[in-house]
Amino acid sequence: MTMKKNDPLELPVNRVAESGLLTINLEHFYPDAPFYTFDLKPYLFRELILKEKEFREAMKRFDWSVVRDHILLVTCSADAVIPLWAYMLIASHAQPFVKDLFLGNQTAYLDAYYHKCIYDLPLDEYRDQRIVIKGCSDKPVPVGAYAALTLHLRPVARSLFFGEPCSTVPIFKVSNPLKG
Q: Are residues 162 and 138 both part of a single domain?
A: yes
**From CA 49, how far away is CA 81, in angstroms rounded?**
7
Q: Are residues 39 and 94 both part of a single domain?
A: yes
Q: Is 41 helix (H, G, I), strand (E, B) or coil?
A: helix
pLDDT in tens, the chain (180 residues): 444 455 545 533 334 444 578 999 999 999 999 999 999 999 999 989 999 999 999 999 999 999 999 999 999 999 998 999 999 999 999 999 999 999 999 999 999 999 999 999 999 999 999 999 998 888 999 999 999 999 999 999 999 999 987 788 999 898 765 555
Closest CA to 172 of 17, 180, 24, 164: 180
Number of domains present in the structure of the chain: 2
Residue 117 placed within a domain: no
Q: Are residues 27 and 39 both part of a single domain?
A: no
**From CA 16, how far away is CA 21, in angstroms rounded?**
8
Q: Are residues 18 and 42 both part of a single domain?
A: no
Residue 89 placed within a domain: yes
Residue 115 placed within a domain: no
Q: Are residues 157 and 145 both part of a single domain?
A: yes
Q: Are residues 2 and 47 both part of a single domain?
A: no
Reported pTM: 0.80
Q: Are residues 139 and 173 both part of a single domain?
A: yes
Residue 114 placed within a domain: no
Domain with 43, as residue range(s), is: 35-98
